């Protein structure tokens, strides 16, 4: 789901969950992701998932490299997930900005699965 157009950037400590963090990244991707490399975003999200685990936070998280989002992409698009969803999206972006493709696919995943990332 895209960020409400009236909502602007806010401090990270005001984010409630990974979706809020992704909304902030969507608003200003170059601030978060060096050269807008999707693999860097995947690494940020791996760190997020690690922090959830270390601190015992019970938050649904579908964006690990082999997690539900990757499985959905594999089933829906037939893409190999050998190197994770970021690599698969970058390889199949067909000249489109991979971050744009990621957010579009994430919106489709959320609509199809009715779940948060």
Name the band, by pLDDT with cuts 50, 70 and 90, for residue 117.
Answer: low
Q: What is the pLDDT of residue 116?
A: 60
User: What pTM value is reported for the model?
Assistant: 0.84
Give the sign of the dihedral formed by CA 61, CA 67, CA 73, CA 75.
Answer: negative
Q: How far apart are CA 35 and CA 12, in angstroms?
A: 20
Work out the pLDDT band at 100, boundaries 50, 70, 90.
Answer: very high
- 9-68 pLDDT, tens digit per residue, is 888 888 889 999 999 999 999 888 888 789 999 999 999 999 999 999 998 899 998 899
Residue listed under structure tokens 């698969």:
88
What span, in angstroms and rounded, lies between the C-alpha atoms of 104 and 99?
9
Give the model's pLDDT for residue 71: 96
Give, as one character, the DSSP assignment of residue 10: -
Please give the Cα distance from 73 to 117 (Å, whole number): 13
Separation of alpha carbons 86 and 95, rounded Å:
15
CA distances for 97 relative to 7, 61, 91, angstroms: 23, 24, 11
């Amino acid at each position: 789901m895209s960020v409400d157009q009236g909502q602007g950037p806010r401090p990270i400590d005001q984010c409630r969950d990974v979706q809020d963090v992704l909304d902030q990244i969507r608003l200003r991707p170059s601030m978060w992701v060096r050269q807008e490399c999707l693999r860097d975003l995947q690494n940020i999200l791996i760190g997020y998932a690690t922090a959830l685990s270390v601190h015992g936070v019970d938050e649904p998280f579908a964006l690990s490299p082999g997690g539900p989002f990757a499985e959905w992409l594999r089933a829906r698009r037939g893409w190999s997930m050998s190197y994770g969803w970021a690599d698969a999206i970058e390889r199949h972006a067909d000249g489109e900005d991979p971050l744009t493709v990621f957010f579009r696919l994430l919106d489709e995943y959320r609509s199809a699965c009715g779940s948060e990332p």
